[in-house]
Amino acid sequence: MLYGTKIEICAGSYADIRTLDKFNEIDRLELNSHLEEDGLTPSRDFYLWTRQHTDKQILCMVRCANKWTYTEEEKEEMRKDALFFVQNGAGIVIGCLNDDNTIDVPFIKDLIDLAHKYHQEAVFHKAFDVTRNEDEAIQALIDLHCDRVLTAGRAASAPAGSEDIKRLEERYGGYIEIQPCGGVNAGNVAKMLEETGCTRFHMSLRGNPANEEKISSVLEALHKRKGNTKQKILTGEDDAMFINDAYERKME
């Protein structure tokens, strides 16, 4: 956590994990395979290796093909993958729509209930942005007790969709965590957070494997947002200060 902002980064390789683990400020990792297809389920071996090489919170994408609707056979495959991940200490990132672009409530309910049974988080991915009606969709996710939703505000990027993300945060942020994602970088992260009122964001290393400079520049932008450009990496003492701060506890 950095100044009350939670940072989640999407990773797709062993090199990504080694790089991300160097940064104390990064809170969560989302594991994927095939980032060129917007992220599919990672291999079980990749997850187990990652679990051994980082203490950060891990979420695993559960998506067997680059689409939003699935056959019953594909759903069963995803149920098995989700069970493996939650049984082995990871949250899951999920999403499934009906042919009319409404949320497949029975299937998503199964996966959310499964995650919560093992005390893990269930996150709805950017399939949310193509739902028929986002208010209807987010209310369904709230009713299902989904923990978080990833969104670019139905735009090409989260900064471009900041107005819609702000509306979602103001209307539903007390019931479900709204997490901007898509196109977040050092040049827009501070402005996006200010405009949306969100306190967490998601970004990807897609196209920039093991790119420490990209991560450092985003962290530097957040430091500048708070008027502090000297401190690069939080120490254990800094982390403890934020954890014990009453305002930070409220944010969490």
The mean pLDDT of the chain is 89
Residue 235 clears pLDDT 80, i.e. is over it = no
In which band, very low, low, confident or very high, does the pLDDT at 200 lie, cut at 50, 70 and 90?
very high
* 192-200 mean pLDDT: 94
Beta strands per DSSP E along the chain? 6-11, 28-31, 57-61, 91-94, 122-124, 148-151, 177-180, 200-204
- Each residue's pLDDT tens digit, 156-174: 999 999 999 999 999 999 9
What torsion, rounded to 10 degrees, do the Cα atoms 151, 239, 89, 52 define?
110
Tokens found for residue 166: 């702000």
Please answer whether residues 61 and 29 qualify as being in contact, where contact means their C-beta atoms are separated by less than 8 angstroms: no
Spatial neighbors of 166 by CB under 8 A, at least 6 apart, are 195, 196, 197
- A 10 A CB-CB count for 36 gives 11
Distances (CA, A) of 49 to 10, 14, 46, 79, 94: 16, 8, 5, 21, 22
- Return the bridge partners of 150, or none: 179
- Each residue's pLDDT tens digit, 6-62: 999 999 999 899 999 999 999 999 999 998 888 999 999 999 999 999 999 999 999
Please answer whether residues 32 and 13 qualify as being in contact, where contact means their C-beta atoms are separated by less than 8 angstroms: no
pLDDT of residue 157: 94
Of residues 137 and 37, the one with the higher pLDDT is 137
In the chain, % of residues over pLDDT 70: 87
- Return the bridge partners of 177, or none: 148
Of residues 233 and 212, the one with the higher pLDDT is 212
Of residues 177 and 205, the one with the higher pLDDT is 177
In which band, very low, low, confident or very high, does the pLDDT at 251 lie, cut at 50, 70 and 90?
very low
